[in-house]
């Protein structure tokens, strides 16, 4: 039985507590939050202890693993503290918005080699992992193109965007990770372009809300990502893998499906899953199950700090490409 402390009682903290409670091989012992009220409310629901001090939870001998769901700027310190305490860590992405701070994290983890998993949950979506398995099994032959559509139903609040690091680092980074994970390559260079079309307030922050990204892989394969902060018909999440032997496509998942044929049209009453909490609900459960299993069996973790470091490097290259209007080679660790 793995004893867990969840740091953070916000939206993501609640999801992780919920999934920890569902897993039979672990027990939620602590919920840590800045205010005792929010910690207690969440802890009570799962018969865990509430606490406002991260160090208390981390240094408690009974605790085996820490799940970090607190604001991004706190990640590095908590990872460092947990690493020094020898606790396994699951860290919500990103490690940090600054590459030099991510590198610092890598150094810490090199010095204190704890089990460390980064929360790229979409890898654990059954449909996406099935597509990747098929690509690795050679179903499309040599991979020639990988195309990813990722459009949110609506933008986050403007004050969230102010400290988000920009569209590529906040959002495209998920797609970048999937691209590298599916293709098993890191891009030689990226070209990106973007616009502010959804909300002028986003533009006033110097950010964009509509973008496209192109990545050239060492094998010659070419990847494409398109992102929008506002898709009125719902959360649009599709991947297409094209290669020498064929093509694979994931489909958007509909809540249910009723077809209606009339004299003038055919309609499908089939709303898409609303947003990432609904669409990727399964993946949030599976990623925690995999983390717990890896901690319990002391097996290596595939979704880790290096993936986070590389995805950030690529996202930064995208960001630069929009400004400098040329291909940028990401700097890998």
- List contacts with a second copy (CB under 8 A): 126-127, 130-131, 134, 139, 142, 144-145, 147, 151, 189, 191, 193-198, 210-212, 214, 216, 220-222, 224, 226, 228, 230-233, 236, 242, 244-251, 253, 255-263, 265-270, 325-327
Least separation in angstroms between CB 130 and a second copy: 5
Query: Helix/strand/coil (H, E, C) string of 175-231?
Result: HHHHHHHHHCCCCCEEEEEEECCCCHHHHHCCCCCEEEEEEECCCCCEEEEEEECCC
Q: Considering beta carbons, is residue 86 or 138 the nearer one to a second copy?
A: 138
Alpha-carbon gap, residue 252 to 116, rounded angstroms: 31
Least separation in angstroms between CB 131 and a second copy: 6
Q: Considering beta carbons, is residue 91 or 248 the nearer one to a second copy?
A: 248
Q: Considering beta carbons, is residue 40 or 149 the nearer one to a second copy?
A: 149
Residue 67 host element (H or E)? strand 65-68
The encoded tokens of residue 247 equal 């093509």
Least separation in angstroms between CB 32 and a second copy: 27
Given a contact cutoff of 8 angstroms between Cβ atoms, the answer to whether 224 and 146 are in contact is yes
What sign does the dihedral 178-9-103-85 (CA atoms) show? Answer: negative
Q: Considering beta carbons, is residue 113 or 126 the nearer one to a second copy?
A: 126
136 by DSSP, 3-state: which? helix
Least separation in angstroms between CB 327 and a second copy: 4
Q: Considering beta carbons, is residue 48 or 79 the nearer one to a second copy?
A: 48
Q: Which residues of 99-134 are buried (b: 16+ CB within 10 A; e: fewer)?
A: beebbbbbebbeebebbbbbbbbbbbbebbbebbee
Q: Is 152 exposed, middle or buried (0-12, 13-18, 19+ CB in 10 A)?
A: buried
**Residues forming beta bridges with residue 26, ordered by sequence position:** 2
Q: Considering beta carbons, is residue 10 or 220 the nearer one to a second copy?
A: 220
Alpha-carbon gap, residue 332 to 317, rounded angstroms: 11
Least separation in angstroms between CB 183 and a second copy: 13
The encoded tokens of residue 287 equal 């990623």
Q: Considering beta carbons, is residue 215 or 311 the nearer one to a second copy?
A: 215
Alpha-carbon gap, residue 233 to 22, rounded angstroms: 32
Least separation in angstroms between CB 329 and a second copy: 9
Least separation in angstroms between CB 82 and a second copy: 34
Q: Considering beta carbons, is residue 80 or 227 the nearer one to a second copy?
A: 227
Least separation in angstroms between CB 254 and a second copy: 9
């Amino acid at each position: 039985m793995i004893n867990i402390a969840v740091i953070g009682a916000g939206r993501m903290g609640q999801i992780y507590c919920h999934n920890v409670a569902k897993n039979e091989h672990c027990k939620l012992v602590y919920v840590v939050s800045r205010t005792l009220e929010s910690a207690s409310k969440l802890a009570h629901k799962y018969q865990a202890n509430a606490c406002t001090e991260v160090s208390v939870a981390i240094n408690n001998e009974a605790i085996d693993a820490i799940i970090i769901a607190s604001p991004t700027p706190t990640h590095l310190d908590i990872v460092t503290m947990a690493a020094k305490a020898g606790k396994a860590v699951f860290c919500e992405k990103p490690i940090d918005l600054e590459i030099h701070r991510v590198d610092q994290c890598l150094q810490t983890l090199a010095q204190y080699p704890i089990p460390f998993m980064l929360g790229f949950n979409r890898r654990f979506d059954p449909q996406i992992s099935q597509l990747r398995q098929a690509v690795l099994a050679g179903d499309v032959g040599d991979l020639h193109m990988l195309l990813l559509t990722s459009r949110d139903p609506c933008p986050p609040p403007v004050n969230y965007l102010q400290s988000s690091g920009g569209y590529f680092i906040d959002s495209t980074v998920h797609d970048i990770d999937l691209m590298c994970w599916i293709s098993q390559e890191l891009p030689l260079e990226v070209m990106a372009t973007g616009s502010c079309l959804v909300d002028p307030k986003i533009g006033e922050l110097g950010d964009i809300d509509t973008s496209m990204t192109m990545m050239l892989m060492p094998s010659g394969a070419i990847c494409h990502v398109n992102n929008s902060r506002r898709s009125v018909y719902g959360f649009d999440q599709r991947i297409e893998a094209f290669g020498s032997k064929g093509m694979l496509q994931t489909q958007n998942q509909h809540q249910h499906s009723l077809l209606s044929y009339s004299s003038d049209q055919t309609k499908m009453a089939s709303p898409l899953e609303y947003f990432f909490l609904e669409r990727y609900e399964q993946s949030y459960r599976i990623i925690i199950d995999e983390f717990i299993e890896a901690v319990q069996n002391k097996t290596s973790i595939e979704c880790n700090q290096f993936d986070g470091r590389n995805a950030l490097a690529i996202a930064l290259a995208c960001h630069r490409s929009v400004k400098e209007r040329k291909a940028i080679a990401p700097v890998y660790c």
